[in-house]
Amino acid sequence: MGRLDGKVALITGVASGIGRAAAALFAAEGATVFGVDRNEVAGQSLAETLQAKGQSFHYFTADLSTEAACATAIDRCCATFGRLDILYNNAGISVIEPFTRTDADTLERIMAVNFKSVFYLCQQAIPRMQQQGGGAVINTASELAIVAQPLYAAYCASKGAVLSLTRALALEYAKDNIRINALCPGPIDTPMLQGEFDQAADPTQAKAEGIATMPIGRLGTPAEIAQVALFLASDAPALMHGAALVVDGGKTIL
């Protein structure tokens, strides 16, 4: 018996990092996974890998930075599988630069991907979950929705918005048996984080400094975040509504 047997899960950002690990884990736990990403090649490659194992995974290419694309993704998932039990909003981007250099286009892009896509995907998914009698939504915030870091102002703001939205929606839809929670990862060893290290003058030193912020002495892994997402997606945390689940190897309590 898988922990997600019979459930349909839409996961965004499945082509890389945490989303890729979550798609594999959710499918292995019995879910029918509708994976969405803008990276067609990597998304199709994941589909081939999971389908070769006999798992139920359907890949859909979309840039989720517009309301129309978000609506289409939810429509396609529901048209393909007839329902939607789990929405895992994971797709995201990061921007590292001094606050005064962040221009309007960059701000719009990071808010569109990290926050507005979550807003619109929830807006499209929740009425369907209401009709079905319930569901689970996992919104990816970050430790940086809770603590701050220089050069991450726009990213912090976008993730703070995700956390506030999550709490507001959790209250509004608790009565409909829809559990809406935020997952707040710390530094996780993914292409996104490696890309951030690579922007430093000395990427090796930047990575070592990142690891030094971790009480566990290492970065987290995508699989470790996927396990917590699985818990939130399963029926186990029946009492969890509007939580900000920090998964960071103890970094934010240091």
Q: Catalytic amino acids?
A: 155
Does the footprint of ligand NAD cover residue 135 (CB under 6 A)?
no
Site for ligand NAD (CB under 6 A): which residue of 90, 139, 166, 234? 90
Report CA 172 to chain centroid distance, whole Å. Answer: 21
Site for ligand NAD (CB under 6 A): which residue of 91, 95, 163, 243? 91
In the complex, least distance from residue 70 CB atom to ligand NAD, rounded to whole angstroms: 9
Residues 172/207, Cβ–Cβ less than 8 Å: no
Q: Residue 87: which H helix or E strand, with range? A: strand 86-89
How many CB atoms lie under 10 A from the CB of residue 108? 13
Closer residue to ligand NAD, CB minimum distance, 186 or 242? 186
Does the footprint of ligand NAD cover residue 122 (CB under 6 A)?
no
Report CA 17 to chain centroid distance, whole Å. Answer: 10
Considering only 10-18, 26-34, 49-57, 197-205, which stretch makes contact with ligand NAD by CB under 6 A?
10-18
Quick one: DSSP state of residue 115?
I
The dihedral built from the CA positions of residue 53, 46, 40 and 222, taken in this order, carries a sign that is: positive
Overall size of the chain counted in residues: 254
Site for ligand NAD (CB under 6 A): which residue of 71, 192, 211, 245? 192
Does the footprint of ligand NAD cover residue 38 (CB under 6 A)?
yes
Site for ligand NAD (CB under 6 A): which residue of 63, 67, 176, 224? 63
* CA–CA distance, 189 with 192 (Å, rounded to integer): 8
Residue at token pair 């509708």: 34
Site for ligand NAD (CB under 6 A): which residue of 30, 39, 67, 237? 39
Residue at token pair 């808010």: 111
In the complex, least distance from residue 13 CB atom to ligand NAD, rounded to whole angstroms: 3
Does the footprint of ligand NAD cover residue 193 (CB under 6 A)?
yes
Q: Residue 30: which H helix or E strand, with range? A: none
* CA–CA distance, 95 with 154 (Å, rounded to integer): 7
Does the footprint of ligand NAD cover residue 210 (CB under 6 A)?
no
Closer residue to ligand NAD, CB minimum distance, 130 or 221? 221
Site for ligand NAD (CB under 6 A): which residue of 191, 203, 221, 227? 191
Closer residue to ligand NAD, CB minimum distance, 17 or 135? 17
The dihedral built from the CA positions of residue 140, 146, 147 and 151, taken in this order, carries a sign that is: positive
Q: Which residues bind ligand NAD (CB under 6 A)?
A: 12-13, 15-19, 37-39, 63-65, 90-94, 113, 140, 142, 185, 187-188, 190-193
